[in-house]
Amino acid sequence: MIIKICLFLFSFALYYTINTLFFNDSTMHQIYTDEGIFNFIYLLPKIIYSTIISSIINIIIRYISLSDKKILKFKKIENIKECKDYLPKLLKDLKINFILFFLFSLIFLIFFWYYISCFCAVYNNTQLILIKDTLISFGLSLLYPFIIFLIASIIRTFAKNKPEKFLEFFYKISKII
């Protein structure tokens, strides 16, 4: 649970930093011409790009830090001798993963803190827009798994109830492509 909480906080810091990296001279000029008002249409492409980049980095970090698959593999072992042989290796792997996760997280969080502090010190008037931009980006990252799973469940239900029509639909799509 501690790893997941740390991962959540690291994810937010990552989204905040990546959004900050997308603030350049043209963005600052647009904020100036809009008189400090949040222009969602102008910032939407930057929000989408930062969400995609942050999500990819987040997936890599989650792969390194989360250990659910290894523990489930251990639980599926039925032979006691194999369990005794696998347990020390599992514990060693988990320790290495957790140490690497906390080490990399600490290094990255220090870099994130320094970069965001410098940015916000120089550009005082963009802090509110940056926070709104980050919250939208982070919200999108929390929302898109629901959309993906919803689409997958609809396709699965449709394929289960009417498999002939489902196959015919994908056959027509393949002809178009």
pLDDT in tens, the chain (177 residues): 888 888 889 989 999 999 898 888 888 888 888 887 877 888 888 888 888 898 888 888 888 777 777 777 777 777 777 777 778 888 888 888 888 888 989 999 999 999 999 998 988 888 888 888 889 888 888 888 888 888 777 777 776 777 676 667 666 665 665
Q: Return the domain boundaries, the chain.
A: 2-176
Task: Report d(CA 123, CA 37) in Å as an integer.
Answer: 15
